[in-house]
Amino acid sequence: MDGIFFSLEIVGTIAFAVSGAMAAMHKHLDIFGVLFCGIVTALGGGVIRDTLLGNLPPAMFKSYSYLITAVITGTVTFIAAKILNSKFETKAAAIDRVNNIFDAIGLGVFTVAGINLAANSGYADNAFFVIFLGMTTGCGGGIFRDICIREIPFVFSKRIYAVASLVGGCVYYIMHVYFDLNGVLAVACGIGTVFVLRLLASVFRWDLPKAY
């Protein structure tokens, strides 16, 4: 179980780092900016969560598997873009489409992992805080990335990204904290809900309502 969860977290880290690195290259950042954006997208949500929890220094500075994964992913993405050059740019849309699926896994896993950590830090009774930290772990890195590259954060205007994380987070929280259900089942349902909602929103281009 722990092994599977860790593997999914690594998949999520790779997906987030790819999306961060590609956004950075699109804005003509250099290799430092590309790696920085990859790391921020993959690990930034956890840093914000740990800061709000007062759990300092943040976890990313204590166990380095995720950081190393993000750095390697960013470097590989950069080298691939460098080698393929103009071909890479024309294929960016196709890469985005494939990465979308891994990104949905990442969103689900990070949401559930954030809720788990917050609940185990003594806040299990504070439903809003715990579910908010789940969403922060999942979406915070992307918001941070968009601010760094001078974009209005994607999650504020496109698809139901954050809401998928919220809904799946509620499912996991209720099953895990309220009903104390079997861990594997709760985790699978939580991640599954985020994953399905996120992909359906991508395929059918679901957006949340806007005022005008």
- Residue ranges binding its own copies (CB under 8 A): 24-25, 27-34, 36-37, 47, 51-54, 56-58, 61, 64, 67, 78, 81-82, 85-86, 88-89, 123, 126, 128-129, 132, 143, 147-153, 155-158, 160, 162-163, 207-212
* 8 versus 36: smaller Cβ distance to its own copies: 36
Q: Tokens for 24?
A: 């950075």
**What is the distance between the alpha carbons of residues 15 and 19, in angstroms, rounded to a whole number?**
6
Q: Tokens for 99?
A: 């990465």
The minimum distance between CB 4 and its own copies, in angstroms, equals 27
Distances (CA, A) of 114 to 9, 16, 42, 120, 193: 11, 16, 13, 10, 16
The minimum distance between CB 39 and its own copies, in angstroms, equals 10
Distance of CA 122 to the CA centre of its chain: 24
The minimum distance between CB 32 and its own copies, in angstroms, equals 5
**Short-list 159, 212, 170, CA closest to 193:** 170
The minimum distance between CB 10 and its own copies, in angstroms, equals 18
**What is the distance between the alpha carbons of residues 132 and 69, in angstroms, rounded to a whole number?**
26
3-state DSSP of 169-187 = HHHHHHHHHHCCCCHHHHH
The minimum distance between CB 29 and its own copies, in angstroms, equals 4
* 24 versus 112: smaller Cβ distance to its own copies: 24
Residue 204, class by beta-carbon neighbours within 10 Å (0-12 exposed, 13-18 middle, 19+ buried)? exposed
Under 8 Å between Cβ of 119 and 130: yes
* 8 versus 194: smaller Cβ distance to its own copies: 194
The minimum distance between CB 133 and its own copies, in angstroms, equals 9
* 148 versus 186: smaller Cβ distance to its own copies: 148
- Report which DSSP code applies to 60: G
* 43 versus 186: smaller Cβ distance to its own copies: 43
* 145 versus 176: smaller Cβ distance to its own copies: 145
